[in-house]
Structure formats: C-alpha cells, structure tokens
Amino acid sequence: MQRDVVIIGGGQAGLATGYYLRRTGLSFEILDAERGPGGAWRHTWDSLHLFSPARWSSLPGWIMPGGPDTYPTRDEALSYIAEYEKRYHLPVRRPTRVHRVARAYDQLLVATDSGDWSARAVVSATGSWSRPYIPAYAGQELFQGKQLHSAHYRNIGPFAGKRVMIVGGGNSAAQILAEVSQVAETLWVTRREPTFLPDHVDGRDLFDAATRRYLAEQEGRHESEEIEGGLGSIVMVPPVREARERGVLHSIRPFKRLTRHGALWPDGSEREIDAIIWCTGFRPALNHLVDLGVVEAGDVVEVEGTRSVYEPLLWLVGYGEWTGFAAATLIGVGRSARETVKEIAETLA
C-alpha cells in the first residue's frame, strides 16, 4: 500500500499529527498496534487523575469537555481521545504493528504484521509506554515478593494488608503511593528529595511557564524559571494532597540491594517487603527504527525540531522534551504536530 505519509502510532501524538495532515491534502494512514483508541491511556491505572484541568489537556481543534478547575479522570481522557479520532475521521488502521522502517530509493518502506506500506514521509509517534524502565539493583532476581512497573499497576486490590515499597519520585509514584498507602504499609524510595509543586500550581501553570520560555527562546530572550521544577515535579492533585495530610509523603534514599524477603540499606538496616511498585519511568519505543540506523545510545534519535538529522524522510512526535517542550502531554503535542506537518508539507510540495 502507498501513502504520502504514514504515521506509526495512534495515541495522542499520532492523532494530533493526523489532525493537521487532514488540512494538507496529502494522503496518510495511521498504523496503531493497539486494539482500540487511546494509546498509553488504555493502560493507566483506574483512579489516575490528569495533572491539568480539561482545557489544558486538549488536543488541537477540540477543547476537552470539563470544568476549568477539575482534573479529568483517566476514563474521561480515554473517551475524549476515542471521540477525537472519530470527530476528525482520522484513518487509523489497528491492530497493526510496525516491525521495521527502511529506506527504499526516495521513499521509506514500512513493514508491518499485516503487509508493507511505502511512504514519502514517515512520522514515528510510538510513545514510551511499551518500554517501561526498571533500574538494575543487586538481588533483584532473589526477591520473592511481587514486582511490577507502574505501567502495569491497575488498583489497590493486590496490595491490601501488604508491606509495599514504591520506588520513584514523579507523579506516578505520588499518585500510586497516595492510593496504596490507604490499604497497605508503604515505604517510598526516591533518589533525591521529591519536588512538590505549590498547591495552586498544576499542569496548566507548568505549560504556561514552558510556553513563555519557548516564546522567549524563539525571540532570543532568556525567561527565568519562575516555577521551580518542571513537568517532572509532583502536581498536588487532590488524592496527593490528602496523602500529605495523612503524613505519607516522606521518602528515604535508595537501598543497596534486594534480598529474598526485602531490601538492605548501606547502613546495614533491612526492611521486609511483600511487593515493589517501580514508578521509574519509560524509554521511547524506537525498535522499529533501528534498521534505519538513526537510533543513538540512550534511546534517542538526533533531530532538528522533530525531523531526523540522518533520515530526512523521518519525523518524531510526542516523545518528550527532545522532540519539543511538553511534547509528551496532550496540550503540548499539538504545537510540535503542527510544526511537523508544516515541514512535511513543504518537503513533499
């Protein structure tokens, strides 16, 4: 099959790119490995709250329904993204997994589990959810308790009455700790003191501050960091604030090794643990690009804006700051999708 543009990944980044491509008249197809819409949102835990109110969690063209001061739930985000796909009649083919992308003369060949596509331009928008990251600790293979990454955490069910260690210092860790600590004895481990945003600051302030910095950069000015931390700082959504009132938001520095039934710290102290929830982030899902020879050490692709420096027919959208500030957020991905499509249209004109 042939298209002007093939987008790999039908999550928020792929859809935002499709939204702008519709206006160009270029033929395009979105290939998505999931069985239904929503991308990573399909796999987040039941009680997840977004860290920005609906208006600041919107994709281009359609403001997410919801009040200016309520944090949408994961189900609301999921139904919004599913509705978005329908609303703009975006051509998403799923489930379709892309195995590799290779250069074929003046086009790119996209090999999938249901046939090959050739395209004049490819946008990779595969996110990071499918590559959860767990740091290596001595003794991990010895530990007899339950271990899972936040990507696979759903609810408190399996942890009631247990001794649970939560590792990681970001929003996932804080929200999961807030929930699990209601039914289990919890221990929070972070590499450094976690940074909590002031109660009145949430994702919209971070996005507005990031926009001011972005615009200043565009004009060659320096904008001070008036909000300490960034998207990695913990937003005090209601469940996290409630946990603070319960005195739960205290973390200790990492252990030295895991043992069969717990963890051992450098001072020789040991704690018995029944389960570990690793809230230690993700790596971008780029395996399908390896044969193009563009994936560097550290799982990044060198880009100019969002365009691959070494494969000029390839763009990357939604992977986080290296593909555009706030690009891994619903509201931030719109800007980089718009700039990406503008550049693709100019290139293919």
User: Which of residues 22, 93, 97, 338 is near ligand FAD by CB under 6 A?
Assistant: 97
The yes or no reply on residue 50 touching ligand FAD (CB under 6 A) is yes
The yes or no reply on residue 10 touching ligand FAD (CB under 6 A) is yes
Binding string to ligand FAD for residues 275 to 294, with x set by CB under 6 A, is what? Answer: ----------x--x------
3-state secondary structure (DSSP) of residue 303: strand
Q: State how far the Cα of 291 lies from the Cα of 110, in Å rounded to an integer.
A: 11
Q: State how far the Cα of 186 lies from the Cα of 178, in Å rounded to an integer.
A: 10
Name which of 326, 342, 345 is nearest 12 in CA terms: 326
Q: Which residues contact 261 (CB under 8 A, 6 or more apart)?
A: 143, 144, 145, 272, 273
Closer by beta carbon to ligand FAD, 181 or else 329:
329
The yes or no reply on residue 324 touching ligand FAD (CB under 6 A) is no
The yes or no reply on residue 52 touching ligand FAD (CB under 6 A) is yes
Q: Which residues contact 339 (CB under 8 A, 6 or more apart)?
A: 305, 306, 324
Burial class of residue 126, CB neighbours in 10 A (0-12, 13-18, 19+): buried
Residues in the chain: 349
Region binding ligand FAD by CB under 6 A among candidate stretches 19-27, 60-68, 222-230, 325-333: 325-333
Provide the β-strand partners of residue 59.
Answer: 62
**Amino acid, res. 191:** R
The yes or no reply on residue 318 touching ligand FAD (CB under 6 A) is yes
The yes or no reply on residue 108 touching ligand FAD (CB under 6 A) is no
Q: State how far the Cα of 105 lies from the Cα of 335, in Å rounded to an integer.
A: 31
Number of amino acids touching ligand FAD (CB under 6 A): 36
CB of 264 to ligand FAD, least distance (A): 29
Query: Between vectors from CA 57 to CA 55 and to CA 60, what angle results, nearest 5°?
Result: 85
The yes or no reply on residue 300 touching ligand FAD (CB under 6 A) is no
User: Which of residues 5, 13, 178, 189 is near ligand FAD by CB under 6 A?
Assistant: 13
Contact call for residues 28 and 91 (beta carbons, < 8 A): yes
DSSP code of 330?
H
Count CA atoms within 13 Å of residue 222 on its CB side: 2
Region binding ligand FAD by CB under 6 A among candidate stretches 30-38, 62-70, 82-90, 289-297: 30-38
CB of 172 to ligand FAD, least distance (A): 4
Closer by beta carbon to ligand FAD, 10 or else 169:
10
CB of 205 to ligand FAD, least distance (A): 13
The yes or no reply on residue 40 touching ligand FAD (CB under 6 A) is yes
Q: State how far the Cα of 102 lies from the Cα of 105, in Å rounded to an integer.
A: 10
The yes or no reply on residue 39 touching ligand FAD (CB under 6 A) is yes
The yes or no reply on residue 14 touching ligand FAD (CB under 6 A) is yes
Tell whether the torsion through CA atoms of 309, 99, 29 and 81 is positive or negative: negative
Q: State how far the Cα of 92 lies from the Cα of 280, in Å rounded to an integer.
A: 31
User: Which of residues 18, 60, 66, 127 is near ligand FAD by CB under 6 A?
Assistant: 127
Closer by beta carbon to ligand FAD, 77 or else 258:
77
User: Which of residues 17, 20, 28, 57 is near ligand FAD by CB under 6 A?
Assistant: 57
Q: State how far the Cα of 214 lies from the Cα of 334, in Å rounded to an integer.
A: 14
CB of 319 to ligand FAD, least distance (A): 7
Region binding ligand FAD by CB under 6 A among candidate stretches 49-57, 83-91, 131-139, 245-253: 49-57
Residues that bind ligand FAD (CB under 6 A): 8-14, 31-34, 39-41, 44, 48, 50-52, 57, 97-98, 125-127, 129-130, 171-172, 203, 285, 288, 318, 328-330
